[in-house]
Amino acid sequence: MAREKGGFWVGVAAAMFYPATRVLARRKFLDQDKLPKQGAVLLVGNHISLLDPPYTAVYVHQAKRVPRFLAKDSLWKIPLLGPILRGAGQIPVSRGTADARNSLEAANKALREGKVVTIFPEGTLTKDPEHWPMVSRTGVARLAVEHCVNGSVPVLPLVHWGTQQVMDRKHKLPKLFPRRTVVVRVGDPLDLSKFQGRALDNELLREVTDHLMGEVRDLLAEVRGEPAPTEFYSPRKARKDKQEEGK
C-alpha cells in the first residue's frame, strides 16, 4: 500500500528525525503491523521523555502513516521547530485556557478526516519515580467517547521505554553513552463498548481515561518485563503524604 501523503513539512521532519533517532539510540520498533494502514486511529501513549514524540513520529511514519500530535503550544514558538509543527499539521494545546477546547476540536477534525492522532494524556512527563504512567487528564476520554466507543475509530495503546535513559526530565542534553535501546510498541485495538450509551459526565470521563491508561500501563509492563503498579502515581497525593510526614 502506498504511503500516506504528508507534504513538504512532514518530509522535513522525517529528514531530521530519522537520522537523529538512530544516532541517539538503537531503535526497537515492535508490532508496527498493528497500526492500520488507512483510516482514523487514536494512539494513547505514556510520556517519559521529551524524546518520545520523535521516536513515535518515526515509528508511525515507517508504518506509512502521517503522525499528528497534540502538544503544548509553547513548542510553536521555538525557531525552526514552530514552522515544522505548523506545516506538518500538528495540534497545539493551550492548557488552562479557553483555547484548550479548540485543540480537542482540531483533534476531532483530524480523526473525522481519517488521520492518525497521538495523545499523551498525562499532559507532561510522568513524575512517577519509576516512570510508570501517572494520573492523567480526561481530554483523551472526550476523543474516545466521540469516536471510539462505538468502534468507528480504533484506539490503540502506545508505549515508549528507554527514551528516559537517553534524556530524562532532569537533563537538557541527551546521554549518548553507554548506547541505549529505545523500544516503541503499540498494542491491539481496545474494546470500549462497555462505555457505550453512558451519559457524558465527569465520572464517565475519568473511568474511560483510567481504563485507557490502565491498558497503556499493562502494555508497558510487558515491554519492561516487570509487574505494573496497581494505582496511578498522583503528584498531589505524593506532596500531601510528604507534608504529613514532615509534621
CATH code of 220's domain: 3.40.1130.10
> Is residue 134 situated within a structural domain?
yes
Cβ partners under 8 Å of residue 66, min gap 6? 4, 5, 6, 10, 60, 88, 89, 115, 116
Contact criterion met (CB below 8 Å) for 181 and 119? no
Q: Is residue 117 part of a domain?
A: yes
The answer to whether 37 and 64 are in contact (CB under 8 A) is yes
Whole-model pTM over 0.75: yes
Cα(4)–Cα(14) distance, integer angstroms: 13
Q: Flag whether 2 is in a domain.
A: no
Distance CA 44, CA 147 (A): 13
Instruction: Supply the pLDDT for residue 32.
Output: 97
Residue 1 forms part of a structural domain: no
Q: Residue 128: give the domain boundaries.
A: 8-246
- Rounded-to-integer distance, Cα 213 and Cα 76, Å: 27
101 belongs to a structural domain: yes
Decide if 47 is inside a domain: yes
Domain-located, residue 211: yes
Count the domains in the chain: 1
pLDDT by 10-residue block (mean), the chain, 247 residues: 85 96 98 97 97 97 96 88 93 73 89 97 96 96 95 97 94 92 98 95 97 98 97 92 74
Q: Is 3 a member of any domain?
A: no
